[in-house]
Every structure is written in C-alpha cells, then in structure tokens.
Amino acid sequence: MPACASKIAEILPAGYGCVIMTGVSSLFVNLYLTAKVMKARKDFDVAYPTVYTDNKEFNCVQRAHQNFLESYPQFMMLLFIGGLQFPRLTAGAGALYLAGRIVYAHGYYSGDPDKRKRGAFGYLGMFVMLGTTICAACHVVRPDFHRPALPWKH
C-alpha cells in the first residue's frame, strides 16, 4: 500500500468520497443559512435569544434556517447509511436535497412564505436517500437480499 493510501478507503465502497463531500457541503449550506439569520438579526435589530418577532421578514429568514435544522439529522443519517450501499446515487440525491434547501430559503427570504415551495424539488433527493437507506438495511438484515430482476433485463 502506498504511504499516502488511507485505511478507511480500503473498507468504504468506491465512490463513498462523494458521500463524504456531500456531507461536508451540507455544513456550508448550514453556515450560509446561519449567516443570513445573523444578518437579519442586525438588519431588523433582533437581539439574542429572541427566536421569532412581530417582524414577518425576520421570521421568514429565521424559519428557513430552522426548517433546515429540523431535517438535518435525518438528512445526515440517510446520506451516510444509504451511501454505503449506493454511494454515487445517494451523494447526488443529497446534493439535490441541498440545492432544494437553498431555493427553499430564498423563496422564504422573499417575504412571501408560499415562495418557499419552489424548493420542494429537494424532497425528491430525500426520498431517493430514504430508498437507498432502506435497501442498505435490507442487505444487512438479509444479506442474500437483491432487487427483483427488471423485466427488460434477462
């Protein structure tokens, strides 16, 4: 083994680096959303520890970040476990989810909460990650588990 080779790379599936990078990317999405809340606190003179105010614009910025945080643990679990079985598919689905979170936030920032729905496409990524995680669980519970043959592939 070359001196720079990683022991962890020997046990993780090929392509799992994409999963790890998607997880790292999620930290930057969180930092971006956090910075938006910090800026809104300054712009609207909202002191800590106040979470919500009578200011609708501030509440929309705060709510966009809070919504991200509410689903963050599920996102990370689905990403890292589903990625063990289908690393590239899960990483791509995770990236789609993160893109949806950003579009969702910008819709919310408009001051019209209905515009947050523009980011709903991100949930497609979450559902794909749910599927890859369920499939991974099936392989652990029953190692001989396999997908049924597709009718057009014999």
Residue spans of the chain under pLDDT 50? 153-154
Could you tell me the residue range of the domain that residue 92 belongs to? 15-141
Tell me whether residue 8 is in a domain: no
Domain count of the fold of the chain: 1
Is residue 152 included in any domain, yes or no?
Answer: no
For residue 42, being part of any structural domain is answered with yes
Instruction: Kindly state the percentage of the chain with pLDDT values over 70.
Output: 90
Kindly state whether residue 101 falls inside one of the protein's structural domains.
yes
- DSSP state at residue 118: G
Residue 111 lies in a domain: yes
Answer whether the bond into residue 73 is a cis peptide, omega within 30°. no
Give 121's contacts (C-beta < 8 A, 6+ positions apart): 96, 99, 100, 103
Say which CATH number the domain at 47 has. Answer: 1.20.120.550
Please report where in the chains the tokens 């606190």 appear, as a residue: 41
- pLDDT, tens digit, 9 for 90 and up, residues 107-126: 999 988 899 999 999 999 99
Residue 19 · residue 92 · CB < 8 Å: no
